Structure 1
Amino acid sequence: MTLQDFFQSVSSNPALLTVLLLSIPALAFLVNLWSGEQAAEIWRWRFVYATLVYLACIPGIFAVTLNIYLFLFERQSIWQMNLITQVLPVITMVATLMLIKRKLPFAYIPGFGKLSGFMTLITAVIGILWFIDRTRIYAVTYIPFAYIAMGFVGVLLLIRFAWSKLF
């Protein structure tokens, strides 16, 4: 089964994915109600919040990455977007993060920094690949591949450092 086959299967039966994606912000809302108002009670719920963040962010990050790829590299029209597989995961991620942010700062959620680092890495790789695609620089060069790989890693580290200073 290819990724395209999977998306066609989900598109033909969208009810299950829609219910799963809409249940994540609903669970975040319910956890906000159940967790109480005192800091000690909220602190106990941080692993539940972490689970909800990962449940929302993994499909959301994948959908954002897929959308960027489709629009930049495949030149897909915005009119051909699949709302269930390309838009709903992003809306779920944003809604869940907004609900959780009301109750608990992201600094207290275990592993949240790893997600932001992962998004930075994906953004940097897509940006570099888009730049290479637009400038038509390919493998015809006299520079050894080890130097190109070290330059790529250096650019990623530079982007990561700049991102951490920016935010």
Structure 2
Amino acid sequence: MIERDRIEALTELMSELEQDLDRSDSLTGRRHRGVELWVRVVIGLVAALALSNLYFVNDLTDEVRLVITRMQEMNSLFTRVSARMDQISIEIDAIERNVLLMPVVADQMREMSAHVTVMEQSVSFMDRAAARLGDSVAIMDGNLHDIALRFHGLNRSVGAMGVDVNQMARPLP
């Protein structure tokens, strides 16, 4: 009889242990689903951030191209102004020869010619600076293309991480 009481007590203990284990599995499953949901939300947010960064880099690239086009147009205008300044300088030299008899006018013409020469040098300097700026913008365009490729790689890595997290989130058989 003592053995029977012990067996019944052990059976009762085993039943309680089984009920405790069932409750524990239920709580663990809910926690696991919650963690899985948070991981998916975080991966979604990272993917959205990467896509928005890619969009802004692309937009910046378009703006840089527009700036380059405008700089080239401005460079063309400065070239035409420089050519016209050369023509003005030639005309001033011709006028100077015609008015050598008037010393005041001749002095003023020389001063104007000097200013035109300075302006021509400034336009030439601006032309070289615009060319250097064009080269720098081309380098920036290459760097932006590099960044876009890196974001594309990042997007692929985030996608692979999502697959890995989904696989890790599956319950073990």
TM-score, normalising length: structure 1:
0.30
Flag the structure with larger Rg.
2
The structure, 1 or 2, with the larger RCO (C-alpha pairs under 8 Å, 6+ apart) is 2
